[in-house]
């Protein structure tokens, strides 16, 4: 297999100062890699076939990713729309000490912006996550990449809020929103309704809020 991944392989360094065209190409490589994985399994296609699907050369591919498995999981910078994190950081109200009263709303806005951008891609890669759990090599990488990226995001949120990254309430909020996102994707892919992915996410969040608003002790 062409440039198959090894356990210790690391993604190629992203080109500095990516242009909009380069960002689009990098994202397209990952989306096509996931589509091919969903359709054929990770071992069922080569880098050459991936390049043909994207419309790029092998040389271009390796300018963005060191291995095929790196392309499947993509760069962390492609996880959110351009400028979304800057908008999230700037949304914190001034003059607040500790957890801001808009944190949950700002996180929800960030997630909705991402879901709106990725809705079509999620539909086209419907079988990708099933393939990840079916194939040990992909599952191992997900178990490595997932916690790393979550820790990076927790650090970003904690810095915005001026609290420790291990703040228990912060971790609970972020994990709850992440779980709600996964459930919304499941509902979106399984449903025949006309609801958007963002609308499914808000429905799941409202269900969770209804439960969390219950009293902690019986009166």
- pLDDT of 80 reads 78
- pLDDT of 193 reads 87
Contact 71, 36 (CB under 8 A): no
* Rounded distance between C-alpha atoms, residue 219 and residue 31, angstroms: 52
- pLDDT of 77 reads 78
With a cut of 50, which residues of the chain have pLDDT below it? Answer: 1-16
Contact 108, 91 (CB under 8 A): no
Contact 114, 79 (CB under 8 A): yes
| Residues 5-38 pLDDT 10s | 333 344 444 444 567 788 889 999 999 999 999 9
- Predicted TM-score (pTM) of the model is 0.79
Question: How many CB atoms sit inside 10 A of residue 85's CB?
Answer: 16
Secondary structure of residue 12 in the 3-state scheme: coil
């Amino acid at each position: 297999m062409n440039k198959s991944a090894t356990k210790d392989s690391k993604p190629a360094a992203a080109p500095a100062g990516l242009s909009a065209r380069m960002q689009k190409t990098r994202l397209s490589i990952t989306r096509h890699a996931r589509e091919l994985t969903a359709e054929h399994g990770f071992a069922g296609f080569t880098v050459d076939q991936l390049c043909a699907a994207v419309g790029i050369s092998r040389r271009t591919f390796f300018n963005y990713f060191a291995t095929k498995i790196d392309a499947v999981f993509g760069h962390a910078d492609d996880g959110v729309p351009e400028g979304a994190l800057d908008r999230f950081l700037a949304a914190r109200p001034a003059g607040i000490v500790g957890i801001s009263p808009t944190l949950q709303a700002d996180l929800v806005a960030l997630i909705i912006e991402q879901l709106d951008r990725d809705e079509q891609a999620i539909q086209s890669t419907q079988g990708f996550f099933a393939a990840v759990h079916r194939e040990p090599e992909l599952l191992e990488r997900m178990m490595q990449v997932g916690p790393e990226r979550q820790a990076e995001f927790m650090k970003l949120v904690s810095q915005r809020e001026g609290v420790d990254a291990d703040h228990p309430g912060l971790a609970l909020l972020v994990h709850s929103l992440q779980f709600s996102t996964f459930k919304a994707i499941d509902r979106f892919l399984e449903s025949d309704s006309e609801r958007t992915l963002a609308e499914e996410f808000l429905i799941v969040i409202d269900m969770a809020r209804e439960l969390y608003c219950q009293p902690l002790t019986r009166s």
